[in-house]
Amino acid sequence: MPRAVILTGGNTGDMKRRLQQAEQLINEHVGAVLRCSHRYTSAPWGFSAPDAPDFSNQVLEVTTELAPEALLDALQAIERTLGRDRDAERRERERTGQPYASRTIDLDLLFYDDAVIDTPRLRVPHPQIAEREFVLVPLCEILRTKRHPVTGKTPVEMLDELRNRTKNDD
């Protein structure tokens, strides 16, 4: 059975409770959660809003019988169930000119086995894994030796490279 790796996160409301609800709904509608990282807190990434609360993120590994696009549909349905309003987020981005906005929940498909998918709706592996410490840290916790199917790098290698780049940019 395929294994999917999903990043859960958000920064508005009771994130501990919402991430627990997301895990429960993923278990019910996607497949069995095999592993779950701790929750990690980080500053908003990709947008600057002085009053934006920190994000909480967690990585889950699940088995699923769903095909990749059906899995995406299920994750987006869970987001809606947990109160995500993409139209409100779009309006906020338009108002602020920022590429991202605060959100109640975000479920990103990071990996689907070792598949490489590039369609108008879905890109797997997630194209920004190597640029996001908030993804790599929990990923290192539960899947440190998993190899990225395109680059061949492990989460530990990607995290080291990201931190070295960030340190050199300072």
Q: Which of 35, 39, 73, 106 is catalytic?
A: 106
b/e 94-111 (16+ beta carbons within 10 angstroms → b): eeeebebbbbbbbbbbbb
Q: Which of 91, 103, 144, 163 is catalytic?
A: 103
Q: Which of 39, 51, 108, 147 is catalytic?
A: 108
Q: Which of 84, 90, 93, 169 is catalytic?
A: 84
Q: What gap in Å lies between CA 125 and CA 113, rounded to an integer?
A: 9
**Catalytic residue check, 170:** no
* Residues 22/108, Cβ–Cβ less than 8 Å: no
Query: Which residues, in sequence order, are CB contacts of 63 under 8 Å at separation 6+?
Result: 1, 2, 3, 4, 31, 32, 34
**Catalytic residue check, 106:** yes
**Catalytic residue check, 93:** no
**Catalytic residue check, 103:** yes
Active-site annotation, residues: 84, 103, 106, 108
